[in-house]
A and B are shown apart, each in its own frame.
Chain A
Amino acid sequence: MPFSEFTFNVDSGYLEGLVRGFKGGILKRTDYVNLVQCDTLEDLKLHLQSTDYGSFLANEASPLTVSVIDDKLKEKMVVEFSHMRNHAYEPLAGFLDFITYSYMIDNVILLITGTLHQRAISELVPKCHPLGSFEQMEAVNIAQTPAELYNAILVDTPLAPFFQDCISEQDLDEMNIEIIRNTLYKAYLESFFNICNQLGGTTAEMMCPILEFEADRRAIIITINSFGTELSKEDRAKLFPRCGKLHPEGLAQLARADDYEQVKNVADYYPDYKQLFEGVGSNPGEKTLEDRFFEHEVKLNILAFLNQFHFGVFYSYVKLKEQECRNIVWIAECIAQRHRAKIDNYIPIF
Chain B
Amino acid sequence: MADLYRGEEVCLAQLFLQTDVAYACLSELGELALVEFRDLNSDVNAFQRKYVCEIRRCEDVERIIAYIENEIEKANIDIPDLEGNPKAPQHREFQDIKLDVEQLERELREVESNRVKLNKNRQELLEYSYMLRLSQGCVEKSGAMQRDDSLLSVYEEFSSMDKELLILEPEADSSHTMAAKLSFVSGVVSAQYLPSMERMLWRGCHGHMVLHHVPIPELMQNANTGEFVHSCVFLVSYWGEQIGMKVRKICECYHCHIYPYPESKQQQRDLVLEMHTRIEDIKLVLQRTEDYLQQKLHEAVASVGMWRVRVRKMKAIYHTMNMCRDTTASGCLVTEVWCPVRDLSRLQHVLEHCSARGGLSIPPSFLNCIPTQEPHPTIMRTNKFTSAFQNIVDSYGVASYREVNPTLYTLITFPFLFAVMFGDFGHGLLMTLFALWLVLTEQRQAKLAIHNEIWRMFFNGRYMILLMGLFSIYTGLIYNDCFSKSLVIFPSSWNVSAMFTHGPWRKETLKGSQVLSLDPNVTGVFSGPYPFGIDPVWNLAVNRLSFLNSYKMKMSIILGVFHMTFGVVLSIFNLVHFGRRADIFLVFVPQLVFLLSLFGYLVILILHKWVAWGAMDSARAPSILVHFINMVLFPTTDGTILLFHGQRGLQQFLLALVLGSGPILLFGKPLYLYRQQRRRMWRPYRQAACVRRRIDNDEEDLPLMGDGGNNVIIMPEVESDVVDRVDEKVRVDLGEEFMYTLIHTIEYCLGCVSNTASYLRLWALSLAHTQLSEVLWEMVMSSALQLPRVLSAELWARRALGAILLFPSFALFVTLTFSVLIIMEGLSAFLHALRLHWVEFQSKFYTGTGYKFTPFSFKSILEGAGFAGVPLPGHMSSPSVTGR
Contacts and interface: CB of A to CB of B under 8 A. Distances in A.
Contacts of B430: none
B253 A138 contact: yes
Interface in B34-84: 45-48, 52, 56, 59-60, 63, 66-67
B200 interface: yes
Nearest to A125: B253
A142 interface: yes
A145 interface: no
B434 interface: no
A152 B200 CA distance: 6
A138 B47 CA distance: 42
Contacts of A54: 869
Nearest to B60: A62
Interface stretch (B18-26, B244-252, B658-666): B244-252
A142 B204 contact: yes
A295 to B, nearest CB: 26
B645 interface: no
Contacts of B250: 139, 142
A155 interface: yes
Interface string B245-274: 110011011100000000000000000000
B254 A156 contact: no
A272 B764 CA distance: 69
Q: Residue among B47, B56, B870 with the most chain A CB within 10 A?
A: B47
B249 A55 contact: no
Interface stretch (A43-51, A77-85, A89-97, A167-175): A43-51
B63 A38 contact: no
Contacts of A152: 200, 203-204
Given A50-B869, A62-B60, A152-B203, A138 B252 contact: yes
Nearest to A135: B196
A10 interface: no
B45 A42 contact: no
Q: Residue among A37, A62, A136, A148 with the most chain B CB within 10 A?
A: A136
A59 B68 CA distance: 12
Contacts of A208: none
A289 interface: no
Interface residues of A, number: 28
B868 interface: yes
B193 interface: yes
A121 interface: yes
A185 to B, nearest CB: 24
B46 A46 contact: yes
A7 interface: no
Given A49-B870, A50-B869, A153 B46 contact: no
B368 to A, nearest CB: 32
A59 B45 contact: no
A50 B46 contact: yes
A345 interface: no
B447 interface: no
Contacts of B193: 135
A332 to B, nearest CB: 14
Interface in A96-130: 121
Nearest to A33: B45
Contacts of B249: 121, 139, 141-142
A58 interface: yes
Nearest to A43: B47
A46 B47 contact: yes
A43 B53 CA distance: 10
- Name B's interface SS: helix
A151 to B, nearest CB: 6
Nearest to B251: A139
A50 B46 CA distance: 9
A49 B361 CA distance: 41
Contacts of A58: 59, 63, 868
A275 interface: no
Nearest to A140: B253
A153 B200 contact: yes
Given A38-B47, A59-B63, A135 B254 contact: yes
Nearest to B204: A152
A137 B254 CA distance: 9
B203 A47 contact: no
Contacts of B91: none
A58 B653 CA distance: 76
Given A46-B52, A139-B204, A142-B246, A156 B196 contact: yes
A155 B872 CA distance: 55
Contacts of B45: 34, 37, 47
Contacts of B66: 59
Contacts of B199: 156
A50 B59 CA distance: 14
Interface in B833-884: 868-870, 872
Contacts of B63: 58-59
B868 A42 contact: no
A151 B872 CA distance: 59
A74 B246 CA distance: 32
Nearest to A38: B47
Nearest to A60: B63
A151 B204 CA distance: 8
Interface in A16-46: 34, 37-38, 42-43, 46
B714 to A, nearest CB: 40
Contacts of B872: 50
A153 to B, nearest CB: 7
Nearest to A143: B204
A152 B46 CA distance: 54
Contacts of A151: 203
Nearest to B875: A50
Contacts of B204: 139, 142, 148, 152-153
B250 to A, nearest CB: 5
Contacts of B254: 135, 139
A289 to B, nearest CB: 34
B248 to A, nearest CB: 9
B53 to A, nearest CB: 9
Nearest to A59: B63
Given A38-B47, A136-B196, A50 B203 contact: no
Nearest to B193: A135
A55 B250 CA distance: 39
Contacts of A50: 46, 869-870, 872
Interface string A138-168: 1101100000100111011000000000000
Q: Residue among A37, A49, A151, A155 with the most chain B CB within 10 A?
A: A49
A44 to B, nearest CB: 8
Nearest to B64: A61
Interface string B712-754: 0000000000000000000000000000000000000000000
A139 B253 contact: yes
A137 B249 CA distance: 12
B231 to A, nearest CB: 16
Interface string B473-505: 000000000000000000000000000000000
A228 to B, nearest CB: 36
B203 to A, nearest CB: 4
Contacts of B203: 151-153, 155
Contacts of A46: 46-47, 52, 56, 870
26 contacts: A34-B45, A37-B48, A42-B56, A43-B47, A43-B52, A46-B46, A46-B47, A46-B56, A47-B45, A49-B869, A50-B46, A55-B868, A55-B869, A58-B59, A58-B63, A59-B63, A62-B60, A121-B249, A121-B253, A135-B193, A139-B249, A139-B250, A141-B249, A142-B246, A148-B204, A156-B196
Interface of B: 45-48, 52, 56, 59-60, 63, 66-67, 193, 196, 199-200, 203-204, 245-246, 249-250, 252-254, 868-870, 872
Given A49-B870, A142-B204, 14 more contacts: A34-B45, A46-B52, A47-B45, A50-B46, A50-B870, A58-B868, A121-B249, A135-B254, A136-B196, A138-B252, A138-B253, A139-B250, A142-B250, A156-B200
A-B pairs, 5 with minimum CB distance: A139-B253, A138-B253, A43-B47, A152-B204, A46-B47
